[in-house]
């Protein structure tokens, strides 16, 4: 099965499972989505304030060139809850399928955990200790909220969507949002 096929099936599965969730759980997810988006936005601003975008553009996004597909179940849920159109990944290349000609196809507040929390030495090397402390405090908060969603659904979501789909649906024949089957 190709990455595109896995992506399409995984997104369809998450969308269907999300639709089946009780309203009370959807409300919890809406609240969590707001928090996750705020944290990711704050993390992105810390890098942007130190000209992170121009540094990334100058290096050509070497970290993105090494990525495959870091979008997670949590990221898809946040997009669904927020009513955001899922960007179409560009599979079949040797680098991140969310990387376009002008950078990441995803808005910062919807980017995967791995992407929004990574700063190379060129970026972080310009930061004063207080900025570094702020960044890693926000990263810990973001990780905690991802962990709370993992507990809520009795599943691990820090792995990419394609790996989660293969593990849960194709191999284990389970749902990804396990709360829905209780």
| Domain extents in the chain | 3-181
Q: What's the DSSP call for residue 155? A: S
CB atoms within 10 A of CB 125: 10
Q: Is the pLDDT of residue 74 over 90?
A: yes
Under the banding of pLDDT at 50, 70 and 90, the label for residue 66 is low
Mean pLDDT of the chain: 89
pLDDT at residue 181 in the model: 45
Would you say residue 58 has pLDDT above 80? no
pLDDT digits (tens, 9 = 90+) for 138-176: 999 999 999 999 999 989 988 889 999 999 999 999 999
Counting DSSP H helices and E strands in the chain, the numbers are: 9, 2
76-89 pLDDT, tens digit per residue, is 999 999 999 888 88
**At 53, is the pLDDT very low, low, confident or very high (cuts 50, 70, 90)?**
confident
Which candidate, 149, 7, 151, 143, places its Cα nearest to that of 71? 7
| Backbone dihedral angles phi then psi of residue 159, each to the nearest 5 degrees | -75, 160
Higher-confidence residue: 126 or 68? 126
Give the separation between CA 65 and CA 60, rounded to whole angstroms. 8
Distance in angstroms (rounded) separating the CA atoms of residues 163 and 148: 20
Q: What is the pLDDT of residue 182?
A: 45
Q: Across residues 48-68, what is the average pLDDT? A: 74
pLDDT given at position 139: 96
Which range (14-28, 87-101, 119-133) has the least confidence?
87-101
Query: What is the percent of the chain with per-residue pLDDT over 90, rounded to a whole number?
Result: 60
Joined tokens for residue 96: 């991140």
Mean pLDDT (whole number) for 91-108 = 83
Q: How far apart are CA 88 and CA 86, in angstroms?
A: 6
């Amino acid at each position: 099965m190709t990455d595109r096929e896995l992506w399409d099936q995984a997104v369809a599965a998450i969308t269907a499972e999300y639709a089946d969730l009780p309203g009370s759980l959807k409300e919890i997810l809406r609240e969590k989505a707001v928090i996750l988006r705020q944290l990711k936005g704050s993390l992105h601003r810390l890098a942007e304030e130190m000209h992170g975008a121009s540094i990334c553009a100058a290096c050509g996004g070497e970290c993105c060139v090494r990525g495959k597909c870091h979008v997670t179940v949590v990221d898809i849920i946040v997009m669904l809850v927020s009513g955001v159109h899922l960007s179409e990944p560009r599979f079949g290349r040797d680098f991140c399928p969310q990387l376009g000609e002008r950078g990441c196809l995803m808005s910062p507040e919807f980017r995967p955990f791995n992407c929004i929390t990574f700063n190379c030495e060129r970026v972080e090397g310009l930061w004063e200790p207080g900025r570094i402390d702020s960044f890693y405090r926000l990263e810990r908060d973001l990780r905690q909220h991802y962990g709370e969603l993992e507990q809520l659904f009795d599943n691990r979501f820090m792995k990419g969507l394609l790996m989660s789909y293969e593990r849960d649906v194709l191999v284990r024949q389970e749902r990804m949002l396990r709360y829905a089957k209780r």
